[in-house]
Structures are given as structure tokens and as C-alpha cells.
Amino acid sequence: MNEKDVIENVGRCGKICTFCKDAAFCRGCGSTSAECAKHLTREGCYQYHCSKQKGLAGCWECDDAPCDMDVFSKDNNIRYRAFVRFAKYEGVEELGKCVFQNMIHGIRYGEGKDYDQFDSEEKVVQLLTKHYLSDD
């Protein structure tokens, strides 16, 4: 896996599909075979359908992002809100670069892992940018 793989697998909600627990059988919501747990529910994925209906590549292109719907709700993991807000203002490519740099420095992405330990978007972004453009 390289930085390009991470960048190309940022889902519409800002999730890094490559590191998703469903990645073994799902190639992400940018593919023609989106089969993650959210897509397979009766309701499907709100972020996927909303951004697609608006003709957006992802939620980061939406003026209302992050909204309070589905994975961006206050009851959900704050990582989603932080990542999509970061992508909105810094770019989806920068998001992928940060996640990749952190990964090679041992910061883990995924449910219940390093980005999920915080209670604010600001703290998630601090971790996200920890190794970005650094020499260590």
C-alpha cells in the first residue's frame, strides 16, 4: 500500500475505505461494487446517496458538510466529522497524505483505534497532522 492507494480510497464521507473492516469484500463507495455494511442496509448510506444526488465527489464538496445526518450525527464517531471537515478545507489529497504518513509512523486508522480516542474534532485533526510534513 502506498500514499496514492490511500488517497484514491477516501470514501464520500471521508472514511478511508482501504482500512475499513469490510475492505476484504468491498472496494469502497467510489467503486462499482460498494458493499460495505452501510450500503447493504435497507436505508443504504446517507452520505453516499446525498453526495451522488448532488453531483459531488464527496461530502467535503458540500456547503453543509459536515451535516448532522447518519455518520456525521453527534451520536457517531467524531472521526468522520473531523476527516470530512479537514478534506473540505485542506483537500481530500491532503487527508490521504496525512493518514498515510501517520500509518507509516504507527498511528492506526479504524474502528476503535487511534483516531477514535478523542472527544473533539480539533484533537482528531491534531493527531491527523502530527507527522505531516515532518522529518521524523
Crossing angle of helices 78-90 and 121-128, in 10° steps, is 60
Domain ranges of the chain: 3-128
CA distance from start to end of the chain = 20
Q: How far is CA 99 from the centre of its chain?
A: 10
Q: How far apart are CA 71 and CA 94, in angstroms?
A: 21
Contact 29, 36 (CB under 8 A): yes
Task: Give the mean pLDDT of 7-20.
Answer: 86
pLDDT of 133 above 70: no
Confidence of residue 122 (pLDDT cuts 50, 70, 90): very high
pLDDT band at 76 (very low <50, low <70, confident <90, very high): confident
pLDDT classification of 107: cutoffs 50, 70, 90: very high
User: Among the ranges 15-19, 20-24, 27-31, 123-127, which has the highest mean pLDDT value?
Assistant: 123-127
Q: Which region among 27-36, 37-46, 55-64 has the lowest average model confidence (pLDDT)?
A: 27-36
21 Cβ contact partners less than 8 Å away, ≥ 6 residues apart: 37, 110, 111
CA distance 96 to 12: 13
Q: Which of 26-40, 70-84, 121-135 has the lowest mean pLDDT?
A: 26-40
Coil/strand/helix, residue 55? coil
